[in-house]
Structure 1
């Protein structure tokens, strides 16, 4: 078996030498490995060229959700399975798939794990494998990227700042010909069920059906989300509503902060999204 590791050296806050850990783990075994560290100016074309040149049996994303998204874009609708080594700040998709957060345990899974096809969501010109949103959380992601602290402490500081500074939006959702107008703190396009922090925003989400969820958070209802997470009771529809769909158009009266899989994309007025069924294969 040949494994190609796509390593993002800028992911997370750890001081582990990822190349050394991976090389040591597979030394003397029957797995052939190749390591490709993402350069600062890396493009999708460079990663695709590396995959084509390497001809691996499996490609492994070493980093956070953003690194996994890059690899997934290169392998859309291809049969090559994608492995995940969680080395980012939050590692939401790894947690979603039950992949061990301990790196050596995750490395063991690459050879022995089973494969599963999952869908992704095409959002404007991007793909989303985990969670995307307009509003509060996207503003939080923007703020988090400017802070020197990483990990959960940085996330807590960014959340506090966002709660004080972000304003609600006027949004319009067009789902299956029906139009819903609302004030909103945030609108999430949820492929997965929870953020990397463990906060479960989409309790009914599945990665292998042909639907995704729209989570309309009408006010700053983190307490409501925490209540659902702890008690498993349904959301209060006055605060949070969930819609299932395979396509949607979201419009905001004023430009709103927007993020995809933890990457801040700027401020936009309109989001169009649709499902790409069974688009990638992951090792779980």
Structure 2
């Protein structure tokens, strides 16, 4: 049932944002059960994503008063405030056993790419039922382009579906060009210097991060069709 600020998983699964409507879906015999992947970070469960650096600072900067007043916009304002202070880190990643070095302002390990509004995703193609984690590193020099493409996608929300499909695909490619991206079942991340980390909106203290995916571990009632 939706009860958070952005209700990201509800948006991801097509569950209505109002409690009353979500309860009707839960009680509707026509509703279906969908198997959703579950992530673990240092043996703690998550359904959305784990991040280090800028996104974690953004979560920390969006206090309860701001979220109650502005909703998801509180996160955007926090991101703008933290961007000027953010410094790049060197990430050492082990992606399904392969060691990779990457530099960026933020590293994200995602089960869901949804940003809390229909059509707005970290990048297109991230799925909550593919049995894979999506690993994203965004560099300092690419961040402006990433936000520009994301903003353009958000602006398409009012456009008729048949008119926006091609533009979604085009902007999706623009977003992919601004990031480093991998998929894996297990991921380990170490940041130098050490960065803040968050998991599904909760700040965590850790030096080394180990994430894994549990395919289809969570079963959720969703609207039919």
Q: Structure 1 length normalisation: TM-score? A: 0.64
- Choose between structure 1 and 2: higher helix proportion: 2
Given that residues 169 and 183 in structure 1 are in contact (C-alpha distance below 8 angstroms), is that contact kept between their aligned partners in structure 2? yes
Given that residues 104 and 138 in structure 2 are in contact (C-alpha distance below 8 angstroms), is that contact kept between their aligned partners in structure 1? yes
Given that residues 202 and 215 in structure 1 are in contact (C-alpha distance below 8 angstroms), is that contact kept between their aligned partners in structure 2? no
Given that residues 32 and 221 in structure 2 are in contact (C-alpha distance below 8 angstroms), is that contact kept between their aligned partners in structure 1? yes
Give the superposed CA RMSD: 2.1
Q: Which runs of 5+ in 2 are unaligned?
A: 154-166
SS in 2 for 1:173: strand
Q: Which residue of 1 aligns with 2:156?
A: none
Q: Which residue of 2 aligns with 1:218?
A: 139
Do structure 1's residue 252 and structure 2's residue 191 form an aligned pair? yes
Following TM superposition, where does structure 1 have runs of at least 4 consecutive aligned residues deviating by more than 4 angstroms?
235-238
SS in 2 for 1:255: coil
Give the length in aligned residue pairs.
Answer: 198
Q: Which residue of 2 aligns with 1:94?
A: 10
Do structure 1's residue 172 and structure 2's residue 88 form an aligned pair? no
Given that residues 57 and 79 in structure 2 are in contact (C-alpha distance below 8 angstroms), is that contact kept between their aligned partners in structure 1? no
SS in 2 for 1:165: coil
Given that residues 52 and 196 in structure 2 are in contact (C-alpha distance below 8 angstroms), is that contact kept between their aligned partners in structure 1? yes
Measured against aligned partners, the alpha-carbon deviations of 1:113-159 in whole angstroms (never above 9, x if no partner) come to 211111111111311111211110101111113x6321134223312
Measured against aligned partners, the alpha-carbon deviations of 1:7-38 in whole angstroms (never above 9, x if no partner) come to xxxxxxxxxxxxxxxxxxxxxxxxxxxxxxxx
> Residues 87-236 of structure 1 correspond to what in structure 2 (within 5 A)?
87-112=3-28, 113-145=31-63, 148-150=65-67, 151-196=71-116, 199-219=120-140, 221=143, 223-227=145-149, 230=153, 231=167, 232-233=169-170, 234-235=173-174
Does the C-alpha gap of structure 1 residues 107 and 125 become closer, same or farther in structure 2, counting only changes over 3 Å? same
Does the C-alpha gap of structure 1 residues 164 and 97 become closer, same or farther in structure 2, counting only changes over 3 Å? same
Counterpart CA distance in 1 for 2:76 and 2:16 is: 24
Q: Which residue of 1 aligns with 2:157?
A: none
Counterpart CA distance in 2 for 1:149 and 1:160 is: 14
SS in 2 for 1:166: coil
Larger Rg, first or second structure (1 or 2): 1
Given that residues 72 and 116 in structure 2 are in contact (C-alpha distance below 8 angstroms), is that contact kept between their aligned partners in structure 1? no
Deviation at 1:238?
Answer: 6.1
Counterpart CA distance in 1 for 2:8 and 2:221 is: 15
Counterpart CA distance in 1 for 2:26 and 2:176 is: 41
Which structure has the higher relative contact order (CA within 8 Å, separation 6+)?
Answer: 2
